[in-house]
Amino acid sequence: MIHFKLRSAAAAAASAFALVAAPVPVQAQTSPMAVTVNVQTDKTAPVIDKNIYGQFAEHLGRGIYEGVWVGEKSRIPNTRGYRNDVLAALRELKVPVVRWPGGCFADEYAWRDGIGPRSQRPVRVNTHWGGVTESNEFGTHEFLNFAEMIGAEAYVAGNMGSGSPREMAEWMEYMTADSQSTLANERRRNGRDKPWKVKFFGVGNESWGCGGNMRAEYSADLHRRYQTFVKVPRGVPLVKVATGANVDDYNFTNVLMERARGQMDALSIHYYTFPGSWESKGPATGFAEDKWVSTLKNALRMDELVTRHKAIMDRHDPQKRVSLFVDEWGTWYDQEPGSVPGFLYQQNTLRDAHVAALSLNIFHRHTDRVRMSNIAQMVNVLQAMILTDKERMLLTPTYHVFHMYQPFQGATPLAATVSGPQYRHGETFLPSVDVSAARDASGRLHLALVNLDPNRPAQVTTSISGVTPRAASGRVLTGPALDTHNTFDRPNTIQPVAFSGRVEGDRLVFDLPAKSVAVVAVD
């Protein structure tokens, strides 16, 4: 979990996959904006890795306990301790990968605390998140079984901050060994005969902060040392992830790539979006338009950060072997009044849906490096997919965006440009419409359209080179207020509804509502 102060930086350079908007300020009116989208089907990029739609579940607040795990004796319907409603919702979302157990929690985590009979596991204090007790009831077996149950790959974050290389190496052996070693047999005695598949392993977390307050040079040296002892059986694939930069600390990326690129398969960065300052982020609901626009402006900064970190990586690794993982991102507001301090529980609104859509669109434009991202966090923490209240559960607007965007997993991104008026609020100018286009494995074309302007609908005229469209249909997500959200009493206040475009000659025309996210398939 990240701690930082937002800093300014230069704007990112435009590329073939960047969006272009004419610098025309919006007038105060409600008539539709005329927006033109051009999709170039002959300009493609590497496929959108499905892991860009990854999740993050840290031992924080009610993210694990109550959010995922309630125990076999709970009155909440469950399967072997996992709550059934959350399992079903995550399966429906087709979650590709889950990162666990942290975040900051990972660098104080002793993996042996979370194995063996639950009644005998030690109780610790979660010093990072609320100072509450950690029962260790949810440990290695519970997480890896959970990942299998929802059909996701496991991304395990190791303890480089306070643990030893031997601890890290033995944890990996315990999880993946198919031998008759003492550790493999201990796993069998604890109930798991077959080794798990752990495809991704993080060698530490936020080493520049809660993971050890290290200098970049020291972090690079420690990564080289620790990863040496992280081994899996011959022929078993493993992606070793180095803990990377805090937001725009480009020197950290440069040093890690210069000194340790040969000992890593991926490098991480973390970035959180909020409307105010780190010290005063603002509420998740009840905000005015100035907080809407500042949040979306900060979300769009993700493109600059990825572009500049990529450029550094390109200098050291022109073959693009090392992936860039944005393995913590999302919105961060003041936690909900009345919730437990340090639990980071916040409501999730139409604004968060826009942040999710804009961020995913940005990742689609950088598939040459960005091969995983992990939104923070999956349940009950920060920009969650799902919120629970004891036996009740609801799906958030962010969940609905991830569900709508499923066709982009594994699709080939296509270059797209946008021209039209900008959205202006005060002295802030943003693109009025953002778009992502891609062709899936079956050859079908999909468009994601985001109207950032909360006041004006857009008439989006779309031309697709080499394609004469017959129809386009899908779903749109919007609501009457900037902070439209679901509650436990009204869990379906905001959800996607049917949406389609019309054909005019060889073009598609979409009547895109104000403050909306739409995804359509083109026939």
Do 104 and 126 meet the contact criterion of CB atoms below 8 Å apart? Answer: no
Distance of alpha carbon 392 from alpha carbon 375, whole angstroms: 23
Q: How many residues does the chain have?
A: 523
Sign of CA dihedral 209, 212, 215, 217: negative
Nearest in space to 243 (alpha carbons), one of 172, 157, 178, 165: 157
Distance of alpha carbon 212 from alpha carbon 215, whole angstroms: 9
Provide the strand spans (E) within 363-506: 370-376, 386-389, 392-395, 412-419, 422-425, 428-431, 433-439, 445-451, 458-464, 472-477, 497-504
Distance of alpha carbon 255 from alpha carbon 215, whole angstroms: 10
Q: Is 186 a catalytic residue?
A: no
Residue with tokens 């398969």: 265
Q: Tokens for 106?
A: 């990972």
Distance of alpha carbon 411 from alpha carbon 436, whole angstroms: 11
Q: Looking at 66, 153, 167, 206, which residue is catalytic?
A: 206
Do 66 and 380 meet the contact criterion of CB atoms below 8 Å apart? Answer: yes
Cβ within 8 Å of residue 269, ≥6 positions away: 244, 245, 246, 247, 253, 305, 306, 309, 324, 325, 326
Q: Tokens for 184?
A: 């493999």
Distance of alpha carbon 477 from alpha carbon 408, whole angstroms: 17
Q: Looking at 142, 153, 167, 328, which residue is catalytic?
A: 328
> Residue 394 burial (CB < 10 Å; 0-12/13-18/19+)?
buried
Nearest in space to 75 (alpha carbons), one of 388, 387, 391, 379: 391
Q: Tokens for 202?
A: 């993080």
Instruction: Give one DSSP letter per residue of 157-218, joined into a string.
Output: EP--SSS-HHHHHHHHHHHH--SS-HHHHHHHHTT--SPP---EEEE-S-TTTTTT---HHH
> Residue 306 burial (CB < 10 Å; 0-12/13-18/19+)?
buried
Q: Is 148 a catalytic residue?
A: no
> Which of the residues are catalytic?
206, 328
